[in-house]
Amino acid sequence: MPKKEEYGAQPPIELVRQWLDHQGWYDRKSKEKPFMKIEDIILICAMGPPGGGRSHLTKRLERHFNIITYTNLGKDSITQIFSKILFAFLGGFSEAINKSLDEVVQATQRVYDAVAATLRPTPSKSHYTFNLRDMSKIFQGLCSSQQKSTTQVVELIRMWIHENKRVFGDRMIS
């Protein structure tokens, strides 16, 4: 976000707000047509919560948007969602693998929680932002396994380790 001026305004954001209020901008260079009207544009915006270099939006800009938020899922909800997904895809595998699926989900959640708590984003490591999409990539990789090639629990665990390294380890810079 641009740095705030003395009175709290942010010029790039004020330009967006001016377009939303008046459907155009003033052209300071042109004397014949100082106001340029812009038509047939749809603006869709998304943002994260303030912090980490992100500033609060002004109420003058916010009033033009419908604000949609959601609460973070609890651990029980996340466990239930990913357990259902794993059981749906790997339910036909051996009985030993089926018995270990709950432990795989719990272990994945522990790894995700540890990584998200330990690897915080900084200006030099801004890619250290983790969300449930990362966790879902692990399960997506597990769900791509074949019943013929995954007959023992150790093979599933090896694949699980590989997916964790692929999702989390590939982001490491040092």
Domains and CATH numbers, the chain: 11-62 (no CATH), 75-171 (1.20.920.30)
pLDDT at 39: 85
pLDDT at 173: 75
Compute the chain's Rg from CA coordinates.
24
Q: Which residues contact 16 (CB under 8 A, 6 or more apart)?
A: 43, 61
pLDDT at 57: 78
pLDDT at 71: 81
Look at residues 123, 17, 8, 19 and name the one whose alpha carbon lies nearest to residue 55.
Answer: 8
Q: Which two tokens stand for residue 57?
A: 């939006």
Residuewise pLDDT in 10s, the chain (174 residues):
567 788 877 888 888 888 888 888 888 887 787 888 888 888 888 877 776 667 777 788 888 888 888 788 889 999 999 999 999 999 889 999 999 999 999 999 999 999 888 877 766 666 677 888 999 999 999 999 998 988 999 999 999 999 999 998 887 777
Residue 8 and residue 1: Cα distance in Å, rounded? 13
Q: In this structure, is the dihedral angle defined by the CA atoms of residues 50, 18, 65 and 127, taken in order, positive or negative?
A: negative
pLDDT at 99: 92
Q: Is the pTM of this model over 0.85?
A: no
Residue 54 and residue 1: Cα distance in Å, rounded? 6
The answer to whether the beta carbons of residues 131 and 115 sit under 8 Å apart is: no
The answer to whether the beta carbons of residues 66 and 92 sit under 8 Å apart is: no
